[in-house]
Structure 1
């Protein structure tokens, strides 16, 4: 066998530390970001909070570190890297009286705030949000919604394929295909129909898991009995090797939805505020949250120490290192702020009717489309909106609410979930109280309005709207 040396060219993504820091901060909601800033202030002595009304710039900082302007430009221009970032990293005075002009809209706003806006996200919320990123046909999207509606809080699918076929009228093979897409979503293992399948879904995403997969697929009973010797004989290997595979399996999550269990509501702090401009109807202003997210600077005292010619080299080296670390953090915070503002500006442009007229005018948006318009990578937008809120004339709203799951009507127009729920609510409000509309009848009426939807999905929307089943709404 002949051995030869050869040169090859490969492309490899390398993230500089500054960009990694930017991505980390971008994901954090305001509450966690404040904790991170507090931690940095404690650990880095050269950092301090900018005093109120102090507008001092940091443009003179590079000369403190003897950096050339070109190097400073390279470091501070990290946002340009986002465009070439390929997304391979795994991937989170405010009110007006406008809505009060319409009592129904005001009630919708209160219902929405009470029912969902201040609650932590559920597993169903998270899956629906990811669903908006998948490229699915309208029929497959409906199937996916039906599947998600039958996934319990543990992350387990509780409906059989046969039941889904009956509910949707879709072919079993097509349902299995969509289910496979759902099972590829986060958290790993979601959508499994049994403990065995839940664990297998997770193993298939891991390296060096062939033996563990074989144990689960073909020897699940022996696995449950912890019969390592019998497994060793069946697999023609030793008990210690089997035990190692067993331990790999036991490190998996039997209840993938567990991470969405919540005991108490989370603190909701908006990253931005969208408000109507005074005395200018249908004009809005955007303000970033300055009160909760403190601005930082390099301490003037340490600047003076750095300029002092009598400072020893060891101290100078330490201070330069701390200043560089502080500047990286300040830039990353500024980039986080500008990125979220950029997204907020695009949402304001795209959802102007919602901000002026209310929830019934909320349009479905795709992450991909918004990312393209503001020239950022889709994964960056995904990180930027995850777990974050914006204060608007319609209430405090999760950013992800603007990226609603879509339903396609018969005439080809796109309806958002919230728009369809508005129709369901209207139909129930005007029903004959002696003969209330069943879910099947609601499906029929929605179809007459050109909206194709499954009965199970209508039932889910009815639950969200806190509308009782037909037999409990009946009045004699």
Structure 2
């Protein structure tokens, strides 16, 4: 039996207002992209203008947004004697002062009429498609729930330039881990996208994804990738052949196919030109052994509200349509400026928290790096993990040991015999140093590297050593010996 009834329930939910969406968007942007966003905003909002150096004292204070009327009904007109309008300043004049009789701006007209000008609309090229754009476009055709879509975008945003997923399941925000089966499901959808092998978490998975797309599951190629990739990298064909009960020739034929697979599926989307990196923060030695961090605002334009529009606003009637338009743009400009200031504060807070947790790095270099996860910084600052992820993505820091991405300071840990943990980054550096100082005639095997690390109290498997070695682009022992013997 169907009945109708009324119920009152008390609940909480988060509403993403346009202003909050804008603040999150600005927080995600890299520094160079933020500059473009600011310049674009000055084009769409006539009340905003760029500050010239030395004019910062004229900028509208951040607190002014709190005093802006919420609607046009509760506003008071400024007394006439307090206004000092510019006779040349009018709505018509401000928008059309640079326009000639034909409706073209003077600068545009001069470009069109000058036959010697190098400008051509045909020469303006669209920005190249990034790997992230390409993946988001493909995944958009799949039917997904809102949470699945959010997780898909989060994972795609954490795929590095090589095409590998650079975040573990444990680092995914808890709000996206409500269903334990959702992560493998969404990841499998991404791994079905082009380019083949994208979204893999390691080399083995990357190559097996490509082999699956070629329907090689029941072949020697699949068996080699699944169980003997390390031996294959060391060219131990006879041992693989014995283990798989096939001939050495079969392994060699399988090797020809494996070598045609792409170990870095994101490579085609690399930009030909090196993009300049401007650090967002600087870690520096303040003397007496004290390390400090500060924002680097170089290259980021500062904004202010045009004073002419503020004067114009004082002279207009309360219910004037033009006044309503100006006030709407004023609120938009104020919120945009406040969002930029909040972005600066959040980045600086995260950088200061990183300094507290990774101070040894700034004194000893990569060997002093400690295990650190996003959740630790999030709890330290009272922020959400997704916020920390946005802050550390495409944000760079200048350190005494070079410019690094903020994500560099976050890494998993390896246990030690003393019960503490070693950062995976510092362990990689130890492996690099060992290989750099090894004998040219007798290079270290992965087993020997594992044994040496064990003597330092680091508990690590040989397979993990091989994985780190490949990530460092260090060839296997037989190839190092051959290369150095040449």
What TM-score, normalized by structure 1, do the two folds share?
Answer: 0.62
Within 2, Cα distance between the matches of 1:458 and 1:60?
A: 54
Matched, 1:148 2:148: no
The aligned counterpart of 1:266 is 275
The aligned counterpart of 2:381 is 374
Alignment of 1:276-315 (within 5 A): 276-277=285-286, 280-309=287-316, 313-315=320-322
Alignment of 1:307-386 (within 5 A): 307-309=314-316, 313-386=320-393
Within 2, Cα distance between the matches of 1:36 and 1:371?
A: 27
**Of 168, 171, 174, which aligns to 1:133?**
171
Indicate if the aligned counterparts of 1:390 and 1:398 stay in contact, CA closer than 8 A. Answer: yes
Indicate if the aligned counterparts of 2:378 and 2:388 stay in contact, CA closer than 8 A. Answer: yes
The aligned counterpart of 1:223 is none
Matched, 1:390 2:397: yes
Within 1, Cα distance between the matches of 2:27 and 2:66?
A: 28
Size of the aligned set, in residue pairs, is: 335
The structural deviation recorded for 1:61 is 3.2
Indicate if the aligned counterparts of 1:305 and 1:311 stay in contact, CA closer than 8 A. Answer: no
The structural deviation recorded for 1:44 is 0.4
Alignment of 1:24-173 (within 5 A): 24-53=25-54, 54-55=56-57, 56-59=59-62, 61-62=64-65, 65-66=68-69, 90=151, 121-123=160-162, 127-130=165-168, 133=171, 148-152=202-206, 156=210
The aligned counterpart of 2:24 is 23
Indicate if the aligned counterparts of 1:155 and 1:257 stay in contact, CA closer than 8 A. Answer: no
Greater relative CO, 1 or 2 (CA 8 Å, sep 6+) = 1
Q: Tell me the SS of whatever aligns to 2:14.
A: coil
Within 1, Cα distance between the matches of 2:12 and 2:63?
A: 36
Q: Tell me the SS of whatever aligns to 2:284.
A: strand
The structural deviation recorded for 1:307 is 0.9
Go from structure 1 to structure 2 and tell me whether the alpha carbon gap of 1:87 and 1:267 turns closer, same or farther (over 3 Å shift). farther
Indicate if the aligned counterparts of 1:30 and 1:271 stay in contact, CA closer than 8 A. Answer: yes
Within 2, Cα distance between the matches of 1:427 and 1:408?
A: 20
Within 2, Cα distance between the matches of 1:349 and 1:87?
A: 35
Indicate if the aligned counterparts of 2:162 and 2:264 stay in contact, CA closer than 8 A. Answer: no
The aligned counterpart of 2:249 is none
Within 1, Cα distance between the matches of 2:468 and 2:434?
A: 13
The structural deviation recorded for 1:293 is 1.7
Within 2, Cα distance between the matches of 1:315 and 1:154?
A: 63
Go from structure 1 to structure 2 and tell me whether the alpha carbon gap of 1:415 and 1:380 turns closer, same or farther (over 3 Å shift). same
The structural deviation recorded for 1:468 is 3.4
Matched, 1:403 2:410: yes
Indicate if the aligned counterparts of 1:129 and 1:400 stay in contact, CA closer than 8 A. Answer: no
Computed over aligned residues only, the root mean square deviation of the Cα atoms, in angstroms, reads 3.7
Go from structure 1 to structure 2 and tell me whether the alpha carbon gap of 1:407 and 1:360 turns closer, same or farther (over 3 Å shift). same
Within 2, Cα distance between the matches of 1:388 and 1:289?
A: 11
The structural deviation recorded for 1:332 is 0.8
The structural deviation recorded for 1:359 is 1.4
The structural deviation recorded for 1:400 is 0.3
Within 1, Cα distance between the matches of 2:302 and 2:207?
A: 40
The aligned counterpart of 2:128 is none
The aligned counterpart of 2:6 is 6
Alignment of 1:157-306 (within 5 A): 261-264=269-272, 265-277=274-286, 280-306=287-313
Matched, 1:431 2:438: yes
Q: Tell me the SS of whatever aligns to 2:376.
A: helix
Matched, 1:473 2:480: yes
The structural deviation recorded for 1:424 is 1.4
Within 1, Cα distance between the matches of 2:420 and 2:17?
A: 44
Indicate if the aligned counterparts of 1:26 and 1:383 stay in contact, CA closer than 8 A. Answer: yes
The aligned counterpart of 1:412 is 419
Indicate if the aligned counterparts of 1:274 and 1:391 stay in contact, CA closer than 8 A. Answer: yes
Indicate if the aligned counterparts of 2:282 and 2:294 stay in contact, CA closer than 8 A. Answer: yes
The structural deviation recorded for 1:128 is 3.3
Within 1, Cα distance between the matches of 2:62 and 2:436?
A: 60
The aligned counterpart of 1:457 is 464
The structural deviation recorded for 1:153 is 8.2
Within 2, Cα distance between the matches of 1:154 and 1:328?
A: 49
What TM-score, normalized by structure 2, do the two folds share?
Answer: 0.60
Q: Tell me the SS of whatever aligns to 2:5.
A: coil
| Greater Rg by CA | 2
Indicate if the aligned counterparts of 1:364 and 1:406 stay in contact, CA closer than 8 A. Answer: yes
Go from structure 1 to structure 2 and tell me whether the alpha carbon gap of 1:437 and 1:162 turns closer, same or farther (over 3 Å shift). same
Q: Tell me the SS of whatever aligns to 2:165.
A: helix
Indicate if the aligned counterparts of 1:154 and 1:256 stay in contact, CA closer than 8 A. Answer: no
Indicate if the aligned counterparts of 2:165 and 2:201 stay in contact, CA closer than 8 A. Answer: no
